[in-house]
């Protein structure tokens, strides 16, 4: 599914011109191009991680990994600034080309990885769980990038996102997968009806950033 998730972003990038990359995204303060560069950083990290085996026991899985990414966490502002500055330095078309090349290489590395466990960002994960985190990230950022593209198909990774959000919430909700993804990550606010349905669980939202 990583191939398909990355491929959907590549499909979107292929139809976006330089002006489109300057449109606002669902990430506050970021353009579509900023989100694409942030996603490129994730694909680069994937290439390193698939070549970084770990001997210890996993300390996070595909769900608990996201507990460390709460909105407002220290370091978020510095990363956001870095992304805006570097993304703006790319010449026309070069960011999309680098994304396509790097994401394709990361997907191939995922298929070829023989390690049961890998290490990234100070954590040890089973390789399958690490791949799941990449799919989650790609799915959410695909939604961020397509805010002005109402005809864009739903991302293929939405079921994975639901699995993660259910795990973080410790319950499930009746919303469709796309709405759950947007509300669970703070892209859409909870309505009064949502809060009534969730009860005390409403205070847990957003479940991750």
Report pLDDT digits (tens) over 92-134.
889 999 999 999 999 999 999 999 999 999 999 999 999 999 9
Query: Helix, strand, coil % (nearest 5) of the chain?
Result: 60, 5, 35
pLDDT at 72: 62
Q: pLDDT digit string (tens) for 41-95?
A: 999 999 999 999 999 999 999 999 999 887 666 667 888 899 999 988 998 889 9
pLDDT score, position 181? 98
Q: 98 in a domain, yes or no?
A: yes
Instruction: Identify whether 167 is part of a domain.
Output: no
**pLDDT tens across 15-35, in order?**
888 899 999 999 989 999 999
Q: 184 in a domain, yes or no? A: no
What range defines the domain where residue 121 resides?
2-157
What is the count of structural domains for the chain? 1
Report if residue 20 sits inside a domain: yes
CA–CA separation, 50 vs 96, rounded Å?
Answer: 23
Residue 194 forms part of a structural domain? no
- In a domain? residue 173: no
Q: Which residue has the higher pLDDT, 196 or 68?
A: 196
What CATH number corresponds to the domain at position 79?
1.20.120.450
Higher pLDDT, 69 or 13: 13
Of the candidates 66, 192, 190, the one whose C-alpha atom is nearest the C-alpha of residue 123 is 66
Residue 150 within a domain: yes
| pLDDT at 68 (0 to 100) | 84
| Whole-number pLDDT of residue 75 | 65
Whether 172 is in a domain gets the answer no
pLDDT category at 176 given cuts 50, 70, 90 is: very high
């Amino acid at each position: 599914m990583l191939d398909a998730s990355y491929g959907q972003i590549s499909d979107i990038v292929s139809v976006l011109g330089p002006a489109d990359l300057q449109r606002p995204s669902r990430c506050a303060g970021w353009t579509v191009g900023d989100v694409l560069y942030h996603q490129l950083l994730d694909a680069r990290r994937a290439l390193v991680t698939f070549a970084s085996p770990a001997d210890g026991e996993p300390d996070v899985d595909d769900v608990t990994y996201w507990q460390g990414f709460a909105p407002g966490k220290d370091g978020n502002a510095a990363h956001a600034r870095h992304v805006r500055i570097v993304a703006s330095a790319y010449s026309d078309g070069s960011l999309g080309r680098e994304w396509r090349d790097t994401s394709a290489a990361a997907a191939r590395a995922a298929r070829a990885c023989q390690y049961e466990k890998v290490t990234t960002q100070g954590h040890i994960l089973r390789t399958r769980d690490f791949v799941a985190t990449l799919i989650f990230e790609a799915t959410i950022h695909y939604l961020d990038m397509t805010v002005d593209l109402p005809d864009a198909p739903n991302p293929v990774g939405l079921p994975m996102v639901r699995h993660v959000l259910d795990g973080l919430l410790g319950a499930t909700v009746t919303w469709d997968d796309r709405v759950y993804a947007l509300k669970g990550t703070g892209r859409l606010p909870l309505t009064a009806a949502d809060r009534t349905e969730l009860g005390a669980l409403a205070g847990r939202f957003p479940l991750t950033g």
